[in-house]
Every structure is written in structure tokens, then in C-alpha cells.
Structure 1
Amino acid sequence: MISAVDHVQLAAPPGSEDRLRAYYADVLGMTEVPKPPVLAARGGCWFRAGPVQLHLGVEEDFRPAGKAHPGLRVTGIEAYAARLEAGGAAVTWDENLPGHRRFYSYDPVGNRLEFLEPLDAVAAV
């Protein structure tokens, strides 16, 4: 039986690792996870925040997905959105998910990311 999501893989173009590191580590506040040497030779980079892992893998004919995206639960969503905007990332709020505050943003290579927080968590702050 499935017990958890181990990681989410996103694609990225060759040579984009430095931009990805600047965004995922510096803007989002994730920690880079060293890739095993055999996988590091393929390029890309991996990141972690608590139990959440995002892997960015190099794809030669990269095109960002139009709709597919990871949904990342955050705490303090207003402050987190401000952090992204301060880091140069555009934030688009969406009020269409009942019981949640959420926004979308894009990484430097065009991958769509959803950030959400349940309203009961927002009210508790």
C-alpha cells in the first residue's frame, strides 16, 4: 500500500541549476540535498523542506507543464507570499478552493507551484 509521497519530480532545462538553487534555496527557503554521484552526473538538483522533497531533473527538450504542479502546504501564507515577492517571484492569489488560502507562482524555468494553507490554520494565527 502507498504510505506517503517520497518526492515530486519537476523538469528543468540543461544548465539551469544555479537559477534553481537561487529560487528553491534562497527564495523558498528549502535545503539542497546532495544527489548520489551516479545521479548527479545527469544534472539537476534536489531540495527538501521538512518531509517535502522536490527533485529537479534535466530534460533536454524541456517545456514547463501548462497545468501540472505540486501543491505545497505552508504556514503563514501571507508572510510566505511576501517572501516570494521580495525574492522577485510573482504571486497570483486564487480564492477558488473552499477552506483554504492559496496562491500560484512559477520557478525561474516556468514550473507552476501552488502554495496553500487551510483557513483553520490561518485563523489560529
Structure 2
Amino acid sequence: MFAAVDHVQLAAPPGTEDALRAYYAGVLGMTEIPKPPALARRGGCWFRAGAVQLHLGVEEDFRPARKAHPGLRVTGIDDLAARLTAHGAPVTWDDDLPGHRRCYSEDPVGNRLEFLQPY
């Protein structure tokens, strides 16, 4: 019945689109994709890298997700962690998942993100 995850939606406070673009496009290297006009009026922004899509939607009473998070499979996790650190994003390594190197970070509005690379 299920074929794939189409996208993951994260929330962000109003007016943070420029910071989100700087992080998701600038730091993570994702490509911003246009929102349909009816949805664009709501604010926020969408990003894609390969088959992965992250949608950042505006939430008036925003509180960042501290436990819930997308798990993003990556290649070159050490390079990614170095890039995150160089841009002032926190990086916390976790060795508890067998067969994977993984770390956690936060986007500019505090949403938790997991990056993992199988070995």
C-alpha cells in the first residue's frame, strides 16, 4: 500500500525563510523547490536533494521539535559534520545505532535533524 515517503514537514516561525534558505540550501546543499501558488501564500519554503524533500511550514505558535526528527541518510557524514560545525550548527555524535555512523544537529530555528551513514 505504501510506496515511499513523499516529504517530511517541519515547522518554523513566521519570517524565518531567509535563515532556512541559508541553512538548507547554503549549508546542506539542498535545492529550493517552488511551492504551488496557493501554498506559497502561507509562507515557508520547500527543499529537495535527490529523492528527499523537506517542507518547512510556518507555524504561528512555533516550538521546535526536540525529539521528533527526520532521519536523513547521507554520504560523506564527516564532511557534512565539518560543514555544519563551520557554520555554527551544533553536532552531536551518537554511536548507539549498530552499522551506522550518525550525528544530530539543529536547523536555525531549533528543529532536530538526524544524519546517518551506513557502514
TM-score (norm 2): 0.98
> Counterpart of 2:76 in structure 1: which amino acid?
G
- The equivalent residue for 2:87 is 87
Moved over 3 A (4+): none
RMSD, matched Cα: 0.6
For 1:63-102, list aligned pairs within 5 A. Answer: 63-102=63-102
> Counterpart of 1:36 in structure 2: which amino acid?
P
Which structure 2 residue ranges, 5 or more long, are not aligned?
A: none
Verify: 1:105 aligned to 2:108, yes or no: no
The total of aligned residue pairs comes to 119
Counterparts of 1:28 and 1:6, CA distance in 2: 19
Counterparts of 2:14 and 2:80, CA distance in 1: 29
Overall identity of the aligned pairs, in %: 82
- The equivalent residue for 1:33 is 33
Verify: 1:42 aligned to 2:59, yes or no: no
Which structure 1 residue ranges, 5 or more long, are not aligned?
A: 120-125
- The equivalent residue for 1:7 is 7
* Secondary structure of 1:46 counterpart: strand
